Amino acid sequence: MLDELIVENLGLIDSAHLEPGSGLVAVTGETGAGKTLLLGALRLLRGDAARTDRIGPSGDETRVEGRFLVDGAELVVARRVNSARSRAYLDGSMVPAGMLADKIGRLVEIVGQHEHLTIGSERVIRAMIDAGLGKKGLAAITSYEAAWERLTLLRADRNALGGDRRSLERERDLASHQAAEIDKGGLSLGEDHALSDSLGRLRHAEEIAEALAEAYDLVAADEGGAVDHLGHAARSIERLAGLDPLLRPLAERMTGLAAEAADCTVDLRREIDNLDRDPSALQRAEERMALIGDLRRRYGDSVGDIIEFGASQSARSREIETLLERADGLAAEVSAAEHALAAAGRNLREARATTAATLGDGAAGHLRELGFSAPVVSIVVADAAPTASGSDHCSLLFASDSALDPGPVGRIASGGELSRLVLALRLAAGVGEAPVVAFDEIDAGIGGATALAVGAKLAALAEDRQVLVVTHLPQVAAFARTHIVVDRRGAVAEVRTVSGEDRREELARMLGGLPESERGRSHADELLAIAAKRG
């Protein structure tokens, strides 16, 4: 329920701090005092669009804050509205206004005159019907949801086939061929770079061999070769270093050069021995490079890309093969699932139609007690194409008298009729979606005994939820557990909770406009006694 409400600078209301309490809450006051602004505050808290024309004169920002108690937990909601933007807060954190609609919209239902209300929407009608279903009907919902889920999954599998069987087989064959061709190539990462280096040696093998042999002769000749000369020079400097210690570093360098030259002869010999001058090796390398180039042109910019593409095509081929194996029986599975869904839809539709008839009759009975002589409430559950919520279409038809043709409530019912219809439906259903229900001017066009009946009905509705009602009727206000009065003084409205003598005076004012009249107060006492007895 709404446990606490703070309103600042909203229309005529400068500042108000209310603790409505549970049960029925009546909001009264003179016409134009600003009573409906409290419902406007509720609309802001549940995420409705903010209206800048409702910003009051005491500053450039409207501030509304509410504390809700939901299943024993607190939920604090706030809105700030100025001429530039609206900001929303949930438990102290800034959130999009749409999140308030998700969190608070389901908690608060506001029924006001001259609004196209959700009571005529199929979603709300179906929810009211389903709330009244018995065990058999709830089991029908469970069966339908399971059938819908199975059919949805089967259709997804069918769609995954991606077209007719022949085109899918062609795709499988192509993917399999490409994967096999790449696999046959036996590629390895980096092979193209290594092969490119190898080709250079093979193509110039003779030239390289001649140069290596010449270099070997110059370095390794027994007499006159570089190793021989460097050896003699190193030994000479070594002898001199014995005479002149300053030559020791030079002797060491010469010895190192001689040793390095000797090592080079080993490397030159190895290169000469390892050099491949076989023309067939060159031909094989050329053919291998041509193969890689061909695969690269078709499947990727590098060997790594080609290998990755081959793996993906192999996987796709296996996937299609699995789908094709499944496809043979999939059509039969989809057909069976469609028949199962149709049967589940019929069972659910029949259960909903039975409950809808009971709900409509019950609502009509309540409406007769609320001032209608022969109202017609018809909740139609018709056959429709299957959706996630059922294979039916739910609509609410209404006529204020049996002599009139029933029609959709959004076009037929007036503001006062709509409010009483919602009340009657809530009572007939026994439960409702929202734990907080607010009625704006539910008393339009009624009075006398009917007004007392409305008060009694509202009190009954408020037994298991919080009900706020903006009313001009003392017969309705007398049934309230909490009575809030909005008084207008010039351009400012004052909001206060009344009880005791103050409440007697307000009811007397509502009865005859004479709050200080003893007769008016006596009538107020009588009205409170009647409400206490009937409530």
Give the Cα separation of 49 and 160 in Å (integer).
42
Q: What is the predicted pLDDT for the residue at 4?
A: 94
- 8 A C-beta contact, residue 330 and residue 224: no
Residue 198 located in a structural domain: yes
Asked whether residue 196 falls in the same domain as residue 302, the answer is yes
User: What radius of gyration, in Å, describes the C-alpha atoms of the chain?
Assistant: 46
Give the Cα separation of 300 and 315 in Å (integer).
17
In this structure, what CATH number is given to the domain that contains residue 518?
3.40.50.300
- 8 A C-beta contact, residue 232 and residue 224: no
- 8 A C-beta contact, residue 107 and residue 436: yes
- Full domain range(s) for residue 82: 1-107+434-535
Tell me: pLDDT of 431 over 50: no
**Residue 361 tokens, joined:** 């009759």
Residue 526 located in a structural domain: yes
Tell me: pLDDT of 419 over 80: no
Tell me: pLDDT of 296 over 90: no
Asked whether residue 178 falls in the same domain as residue 92, the answer is no
- 8 A C-beta contact, residue 83 and residue 60: yes
**Residue 170 tokens, joined:** 């062609």
Asked whether residue 308 falls in the same domain as residue 175, the answer is yes
Q: What does 461-524 look like in DSSP terms, one character per residue?
A: HTTSSEEEEE-S-HHHHTT-SEEEEEEEETTEEEEEEE-HHHHHHHHHHHHHS-TT-HHHHHHH
Asked whether residue 197 falls in the same domain as residue 310, the answer is yes
Q: What is the predicted pLDDT for the residue at 200?
A: 62
State whether residue 416 is helix, strand or coil: helix
Q: What is the predicted pLDDT for the residue at 397?
A: 93
Residue 408: C-alpha distances to residues 130, 371, 466 (Å): 20, 20, 28
Indicate the range of 90-104, 196-210, 447-461 predicted with least confidence.
Answer: 196-210
pLDDT category of residue 433 using cuts at 50, 70 and 90: low
The mean per-residue pLDDT over the stretch 322-337 comes to 83
Report the number of distinct structural domains present in the chain.
2
Q: What is the predicted pLDDT for the residue at 116?
A: 40
Residue 458 located in a structural domain: yes
Asked whether residue 100 falls in the same domain as residue 213, the answer is no
Beta bridge partners of 74: 69
Asked whether residue 100 falls in the same domain as residue 200, the answer is no
Residue 499 located in a structural domain: yes
Q: In what order do the strands lie in the sheet with 407-408?
A: 376-387, 390-399, 407-408
Give the Cα separation of 123 and 42 in Å (integer).
22
Chain mean pLDDT for the chain: 85
Q: Please state the pTM of the whole predicted model.
A: 0.57
Residue 173: C-alpha distances to residues 185, 312, 323, 399 (Å): 18, 14, 14, 67
